């Protein structure tokens, strides 16, 4: 069977992911998640026409082609009531955010006027509504302010706060269990005795937290089927289970056997990518089960490409995939035809263009091969060489500092 392309693999994953149930939370807790329902505005904002500039509120009809002098009848500050009324030939000194006085329909910025003893001299023409922020231009009471499944970023949160809201309904955060496996692994503070620290689980946990999920580290399984099965079993009552290592065809690779023993319905176990070719995915009930590769760089790249989009959909989001952008390769890159490569690169802005500088080492076994990488450079299946200056596609990495 031909290997799945990354698109086919992602489609299989996303096909079985449904947004989690809604919960009402403080708005700053909701950032990164998506609204469960439409939010209707209860306030019209701004509450009145107001000035977008420090300057002079005028009647646009007074200021034709050429200079005109208007008498200044007072000043309005932000927070004032619009008590003044502007008649023909008059102007009001006005500050940004102050309500427009009756009669005036435009604001001329103060840098464009000359203040004299008699008043203020300005040069026309002035178009109606110039530098005026309209009542209701930000929100309109009774209208949908933000649609269901809008992801909440900082501006969206601010829009909700401006309505006097403190809480909002969003999908709950996914609970993500992490299991490492390998006889060569030890905990961070253990005496190593020739072993290496299990870095995948804490690193993936950090990536999960950044993506909006709630990680739980279940520990390190030994390279035996019972040990892997026992820890995997503990993870199956979470929304998502991520194991790392033991997912390939090594003699002590037990992840897939453990999944099968516990009734995980397998979807696939390989994807045509480098790094990250061994990647198992399946489900048990509502739990998504990912068997990520053991090599650190591979596990993190697989997380970016496949797990993070799934976490976003669980949180109700519809913008699932990382941002893509064009760049030029700053170094040659050679590979055989066949599978798609995701090269860890540093994106550098040079001469008005984004350039992709591949990290010197691309060995997936070392964290050093990912340190400082800001993007993944996509080298497609049929491409065998990239030369300096070639146009390439970059994917923004979410792991950056």
CB atoms within 10 A of CB 364: 21
Binding of Mg ion by 151 (CB under 5 A): no
Residues 6 or more apart whose Cβ sits within 8 Å of residue 84: 73, 74, 76, 92, 101, 102
Q: Name the segment binding Mg ion (CB under 5 A); options: 17-25, 40-48, 178-186, 235-243.
A: 178-186
Binding site partner of 6, from Mg ion, ligand AMP, none, Cβ cut-off 5-8 A by kind: none
Residues 6 or more apart whose Cβ sits within 8 Å of residue 119: 69, 70, 71, 72, 91
Quickly tell me which residue has 């401006």 as its tokens: 162
Cβ 245 to Mg ion, closest distance in Å? 4
Residue 6 or 246 having the CB closest to ligand AMP? 246
Give rounded-to-5 percent helix, strand, coil for the chain: 20, 35, 45
Q: Residue 116: exposed, middle, or buried by beta-carbon count in 10 A (0-12, 13-18, 19+)?
A: exposed
Q: Applying CB under 5 A, which of residues 182, 296, 309, 316 lies at the interface with Mg ion?
A: 182
Name the closest residue to Mg ion (Cβ): 182
Cβ 282 to Mg ion, closest distance in Å? 20
Query: Half-sphere exposure of 117 toward its Cβ, with a 13 Å CA cutoff?
Result: 0
Q: Are the beta carbons of 242 and 307 closer than 8 angstroms?
A: yes
Binding site partner of 244, from Mg ion, ligand AMP, none, Cβ cut-off 5-8 A by kind: ligand AMP
Cβ 294 to ligand AMP, closest distance in Å? 3
- Exposed e or buried b for every residue in 106-115, given b needs 16+ CB within 10 A? bbbbeeebee
Residue 94 or 297 having the CB closest to ligand AMP? 297
Residue 119 or 182 having the CB closest to Mg ion? 182
d(CA 245, CA 227): 14
Residue 99 or 246 having the CB closest to ligand AMP? 246
Binding site for ligand AMP (CB under 6 A): 180, 182, 184-185, 196, 198-201, 244-246, 248, 250, 293-296, 365
Residue 120 or 218 having the CB closest to Mg ion? 218
Residue 245 or 301 having the CB closest to Mg ion? 245
Q: Binding residues for Mg ion, per CB under 5 A?
A: 182, 245-246
């Amino acid at each position: 069977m031909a290997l799945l392309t990354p698109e086919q693999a992602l489609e299989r994953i996303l096909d079985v992911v449904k947004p989690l149930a809604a919960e009402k939370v403080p708005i700053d807790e909701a950032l990164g998640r998506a609204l469960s329902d439409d939010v209707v505005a209860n306030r019209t904002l701004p509450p009145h026409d107001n000035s977008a500039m420090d300057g002079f509120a005028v009647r646009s009809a007074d200021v034709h082609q050429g200079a005109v002098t208007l008498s200044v009848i007072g000043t309005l500050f932000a927070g004032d009531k619009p008590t003044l009324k502007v008649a023909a030939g008059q102007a009001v000194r006005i500050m940004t955010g102050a309500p427009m006085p009756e009669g005036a329909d435009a604001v001329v910025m103060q840098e464009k006027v000359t203040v004299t003893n008699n008043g203020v001299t300005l040069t026309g023409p002035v178009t109606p509504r110039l530098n005026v922020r309209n009542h209701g231009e930000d929100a309109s009471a009774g209208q949908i302010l933000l649609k269901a499944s809008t992801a909440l970023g900082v501006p969206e949160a601010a829009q909700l706060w401006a309505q006097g809201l403190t809480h909002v309904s969003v999908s709950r955060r996914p609970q993500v269990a992490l299991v490492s496996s390998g006889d060569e692994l030890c905990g961070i503070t253990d005496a190593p005795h020739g072993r290496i620290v299990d870095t995948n689980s804490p690193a993936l946990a950090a990536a999960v937290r950044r993506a909006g999920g709630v990680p739980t580290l279940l520990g390190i399984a030994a390279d035996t089927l019972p040990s892997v099965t026992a820890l995997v079993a503990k993870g199956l009552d979470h929304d998502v289970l991520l194991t790392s290592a033991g997912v390939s065809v090594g003699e002590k690779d037990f992840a897939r056997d453990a999944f099968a023993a516990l009734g995980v319905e397998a979807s696939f176990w390989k994807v045509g990518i480098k790094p990250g070719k061994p990647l198992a995915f399946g489900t048990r009930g509502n739990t998504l089960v990912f068997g990520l590769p053991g090599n650190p760089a591979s596990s993190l790249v697989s997380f970016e490409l496949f797990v993070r989009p799934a976490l976003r959909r669980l949180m109700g989001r519809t913008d699932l995939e990382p941002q893509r952008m064009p760049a030029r390769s700053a170094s040659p890159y050679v590979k055989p035809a066949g599978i798609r490569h995701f090269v860890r690169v540093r994106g550098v802005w040079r001469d008005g263009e984004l350039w992709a500088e591949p990290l010197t080492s691309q060995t997936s076994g070392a964290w050093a091969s990912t340190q400082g990488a800001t993007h993944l450079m996509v080298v497609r299946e049929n491409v065998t060489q990239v030369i300096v200056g070639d146009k390439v596609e970059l994917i923004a990495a979410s792991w950056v500092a």
